Amino acid sequence: MWVETAVVDNNQYSAGEPPGFLGDARMRRFQFTDEERRVIAKERFYHPNPRVQRRMEILWLKQHGETHQRIAELAGASRRTVQRVLDVFAEGRLEAVRQFHEKGRVNAFAPHRQSLEEEFRQRPPKVVAEACDRIEQLTGVRRQKTQVRRFLRETLGLRWRKVAAIPVPPKKSVEEHAATQADFLKDRA
């Protein structure tokens, strides 16, 4: 057992600590403003991105004086992840913690969005398979139904509508019913 005292980075260590033990001296110290403390406490639960929530949890534990090892255990992250989050915070504070620099693939429909939107607004497709074929004819880009469905819904804002025939009343013929409907539509205009 070591019994002599050592001074490392103006911190005194003794009794049972081996030489080279830096304990708390290697942990970086951060000053959190009252506003940052309030934001961290809120966003660790209420930020819409769960990855940001996890980063805020790490910062919350750090502001409460936990060691990096303990932060890693409590947050369910590795010590390296804790270090990375603290690096990001040190460089850009909370704004940097909320950002992720991910590079995704460029959507193949993006350059053709305007022309596809015009086409589908003028002549909406009846089924997704028809939309797939028309997109391939117009752009040369072939995609499966799932990707086309997502593009139509999320990018172009198109929604699938349930369509059905208007039933004919039992005492009228189809021609009589059509005339009644035409009169009704004419009166509304």
Phi and psi torsions of 12, nearest 5° = -100, 130
pTM across the whole model: 0.47
Q: Answer yes or no: are the C-beta atoms of 100 and 51 closer than 8 Å.
A: yes
Contact between 127 and 85 (Cβ < 8 Å):
no
d(C-alpha 88, C-alpha 30), whole Å: 12
Per-residue pLDDT of the chain (189 residues; tens, 9 = 90+): 333 333 444 444 444 443 333 444 456 788 889 999 999 999 999 999 899 999 999 999 999 989 999 999 999 999 999 999 999 999 989 999 998 877 777 778 888 989 999 999 899 898 999 999 999 999 999 999 999 999 999 888 888 877 777 777 888 888 888 898 889 888 776
> Long-range contact list for 137-143, CB < 8 A, 24+ apart?
138/112, 139/108, 139/109, 139/112, 139/115, 141/108, 141/109, 141/112, 143/108, 143/109
